[in-house]
Amino acid sequence: MSEQNRRLVLAQRPTGMVDDTIVRLETEDAPEAKTGQAVVRVTHLSIDPTIRTWMDDAPGYLPPIEIGAVVRSGGLGTVVSSQNDDFPVGATVFGMLGWQDYALLDGTPGEGQVVPDGMDPTAVLSVFGVTGMTAYFGLLDIGEPKEGATVVVSGAAGATGSVVGQIAKIKGAANVVGIAGSDEKCAWLVDELGFDAAINYKTENVAKRLHELCPEGIDIYFDNVGGEILDAALGQLAMKGRVVCCGAISAYNDREASPGLQNYFTLITKRARMEGFLILDYVDRFGEAQGELFGWVLEGKLKHAVHVVEGLEHAPDGLNLLFTGGNTGKVIVEL
Amino acid sequence: MSEQNRRLVLAQRPTGMVDDTIVRLETEDAPEAKTGQAVVRVTHLSIDPTIRTWMDDAPGYLPPIEIGAVVRSGGLGTVVSSQNDDFPVGATVFGMLGWQDYALLDGTPGEGQVVPDGMDPTAVLSVFGVTGMTAYFGLLDIGEPKEGATVVVSGAAGATGSVVGQIAKIKGAANVVGIAGSDEKCAWLVDELGFDAAINYKTENVAKRLHELCPEGIDIYFDNVGGEILDAALGQLAMKGRVVCCGAISAYNDREASPGLQNYFTLITKRARMEGFLILDYVDRFGEAQGELFGWVLEGKLKHAVHVVEGLEHAPDGLNLLFTGGNTGKVIVEL
């Protein structure tokens, strides 16, 4: 194979946003499939906040990306050559393909999943993929919503948050409040997705608005952002409230500067709980979730938005969007 | 009745320690028992950190103590006059008697509990009382210890912490580490109570020591102090670790100055949980706990220490001991 493989490798560890001093474009010969292997041409990359945490040299649920290694990332692609019957030429595959044109699957169990024909690639990467699984298991398994609950979601216009709020409504929540970073996003949450209310954290006092919008307290707070917004939500928890810790995007670029939580004492007075999760622990139940999510999409109850970035070389820009709030819905890079 | 009742009332809300500008001694005629009422001469007061939180004008699990009202406090006393058959003259009663010589029980359900004859008053107020209930239900119901667990307790030489560590050992914990504020307390925990190790937080780096003493991570962290020690423990949690939020004594006197939690992200990477509780929710199960605790005391497996302060007028000093760390074990005021 004489094709060239462009790959974005980690040049050094970031302290803030990711630019071309952090991620370097390299070109090499595309890989060839030997016995048991398959080569996938990457067509779409899933841009998730967790990628930024993998760039730090800090303990996490997966090892840090090594310096000089291709940036780890979920993605979709098409098998272009294969010596592995699990991945026939022409099949669409989801896996940790990385920020590159061609990925080599070497037969490790779980490294790739063949996607049925006819699926919308953006839906595979959002509502039926990591994003949807995160929203589904985080809200239902950790948050345990009851009929009539008050549910608050931060990062609500993001990929996960927008799905969380809609699932909460489907499951009978009486009051779903989203927290997002612009009036346009807030209007979209209420007008298009059926949230009951939204708070623009850039122009409003979040603690005060939560107090007004959730006078009986917050039963479930689904946290994507950490920091001050998490602290405000802790201060407004209802009796036996649950905080679902999904992400802490406000702290990923600058952990030191985050002011730290003060309102954890509410966990005692309200007999409340704060719990983290990772969908890695739910892989066995993905089918169950995908089935239910698929039904909701068909019934028109669950919508998803995608923010497409064109070109592998702009993957870092896509990642930065998550931290500047420049996206509504799932960020996907199309190659 | 011509007896006088000395009572300590809240003169103004404290910003730090409690002195005679905060609590004022007043004298009035002792109450008389009318139909359905009983008068109790207070003999012992239970001095608990939560009293300090009731002095603040802040939302809590009970209303703040009103300015001019007697300081709310658990205590033991003897019925000296009665027109209520539930509280016969001569009976020993436990209840929210307050910082005063004589308390009036007016027949409200749950306001007082008659204590069987022959019980050691200090044991009633510590291991069989609020302290023991807090340790028992917090550790077993929220912490859910498994055989072989690593358990860390802060405020370990205090009334609750010292019982928590011993129950953890009784329930099969392999590694119980206490955090306390002096070498004497640390030695007492290890030599007398059977803790596996202890950390003096005033002279040692808690995060570093937890890393050394709990190399596989902390399965259960029972928190009495909040603040920086809680943050250090969060950073060392094991997979699926549990933080039992019992108190945050480091923040009670000066909430603003507390640096705030930074390590809550560990809740995600370790799929861990932080949960608060109050023993008010376990009243129906006190008998079960008291039975088991009584057995352990008889078998010599569970020890308790008491720090006695003499005289009603020194109750504020007793409360302050909890914040200066001047006590080992339960602080009780004898009248």
Across chain B, which has 335 residues, the per-10-residue mean pLDDT values are 88 93 96 96 95 89 94 96 96 95 90 86 88 96 97 96 97 98 97 98 98 98 95 97 92 69 93 95 91 91 94 96 91 96
Nearest to A269 among B61, B259, B266 (CB): B61
d(CA B73, CA A173): 40
Same domain, A108 and A146: no
- Determine whether the interchain pair A264/B60 forms a contact, defined as Cβ–Cβ distance below 8 Å: no
Considering the domain architecture, whether residues B18 and B114 belong to the same structural domain is answered as yes
Q: Are residues A112 and A10 in the same domain?
A: yes
Q: What per-residue string of b and e applies to B227-237 under the rule 16 or more CB within 10 Å gives b?
A: bbbbbbbbbbb
A311 and A268 part of one domain? no
Rounded CA-CA distance A49/A56 in Å is: 12
The residue among A230, A258, A264 with the most chain B CBs within 10 A of its CB, best to mutate, is A264
Indicate the residue of A61, A230, A269 with minimum beta-carbon distance to B269: A61
| Amino acid making up residue B284 | D
Would you call B268 and A246 a contact, using CB atoms and an 8 Å cutoff? yes
Number of separate domains in chain B = 2
Are the C-beta atoms of residues A245 and A274 closer than 8 Å to each other?
yes
User: Shortest Cα distance from A64 to chain B (angstroms)?
Assistant: 13
Distance CA A26, CA A222 (A): 39
Answer yes or no: do B246 and A260 touch at CB < 8 A: no
Q: Is A314 helix (H, G, I), strand (E, B) or coil?
A: helix
Chain A hits for B273, Cβ within 8 Å: 273-276
Shortest distance, CA A137 to any CA of chain B (angstroms): 13
Whether B286 maps to a domain, the answer reads no
Same domain, yes or no: A220 and A163: yes
For residue B333, give the amino acid letter: V
SS3 breakdown of chain A: % helix, strand, coil, rounded to 5?
A: 30, 30, 40
Return the closest-CA partner of residue A293 out of A140, A99, A86, A84. Answer: A140
Over residues A243-297, the pLDDT tens digits come to: 999 988 877 766 556 778 999 999 999 999 999 999 989 989 988 998 899 899 9
Q: Which residue of A has its CA nearest to B262?
A: A260
In a domain, A292, yes or no: no
For the stretch B134-138, contacts whose Cβ atoms lie closer than 8 Å and that sit 24 or more positions apart, written own/partner, are: B134/B160, B134/B246, B134/B279, B135/B160, B135/B161, B135/B163, B135/B164, B135/B167, B136/B163, B136/B167, B136/B289, B136/B292, B136/B293, B137/B277, B137/B279, B137/B282, B137/B285, B137/B289, B138/B164, B138/B222, B138/B244, B138/B246, B138/B277, B138/B279
Give yes or no: residues B107 and B163 share one domain. Answer: no
Same domain as A272, residue A212: yes
Q: What is the pLDDT at residue B108? A: 86
Flag whether B118 is in a domain: yes
Chain A residues within 8 Å of chain B (Cβ atoms): 59-61, 226, 230-231, 245-248, 251, 255, 258-262, 264-278, 281
Min Cα distance A233 → chain B (Å) is 14
Vertex A300, ends A296 and A306: CA angle to 5°?
A: 90
Q: Answer yes or no: do B267 and A276 touch at CB < 8 A.
A: yes
Taking the C-alpha atoms of residue A229 and residue A233, their distance in angstroms, rounded to an integer, is 6
Interface contact A226-B258, CB threshold 8 A: no
Give the model confidence (pLDDT) of A292-328 as tens digits: 998 999 899 999 999 999 999 999 999 999 988 889 9
Domain that holds residue B219: 130-279
Q: Are residues B205 and B118 in the same domain?
A: no
Do B195 and B275 have their domain in common?
A: yes
Count residue pairs from A and B with Cβ separation < 8 A.
99
Q: Would you state the pLDDT for residue A254?
A: 64
Q: What is the mean pLDDT of residues A221-226?
A: 96
Residue B296 placed within a domain: no
Cβ–Cβ < 8 Å for B264, A262: no
Interface test with B, best of A221, A265, A280 (most B CBs within 10 A): A265
What's the pLDDT score for residue B117? 83
Which two tokens mark B244? Answer: 């039992």
**Average pLDDT value for residue range A174-194:** 97
Q: Are residues B111 and B11 in the same domain?
A: yes
Instruction: Write the CATH number for B273.
Output: 3.40.50.720
Assess whether B151 and B10 both reside in one domain.
no
Q: Is the pLDDT of residue A34 over 70?
A: yes
A142-181 pLDDT tens trace: 999 999 999 999 999 999 999 999 999 999 999 999 999 9
A300 domain residue, yes or no = no
Give the ranges where B92-201 is alpha helix by DSSP (H).
121-125, 130-137, 159-170, 183-191
Contact assignment for A264 to B230 by CB distance below 8 Å: yes
**Cβ-based interface (< 8 Å): residues of B facing A:** 59-61, 226, 230-231, 245-248, 251, 255, 258-262, 264-278, 281
Whether A231 and A325 map to the same domain: the answer is no
pLDDT (0 to 100) of residue B257:
63
C-alpha span between B332 and B46 (Å, rounded): 5
Confidence of residue A2 (pLDDT cuts 50, 70, 90): low
Structure tokens at B6: 């000395």
**Residue B164, in any domain of the structure:** yes
Q: Find the CB nearest B271 among A248, A261, A278.
A: A278
Residue B326 resides in a domain: yes
Rounded Cα–Cα distance for residues B228 and B231 (Å): 5
Give the domain CATH number at A73. Answer: 3.90.180.10
Number of H helices and E strands in chain B, helices first, is 11, 15
* Alpha carbon separation from A331 to A46, A227, A323 (Å, rounded): 7, 23, 12
- Interface contact flag, A277 B262, Cβ < 8 Å: no
Q: Are B50 and B250 in contact (CB under 8 A)?
A: no
Give the whole-angstrom CA distance, residue B322 versus residue B252: 11
Determine, yes or no, domain membership for B289: no
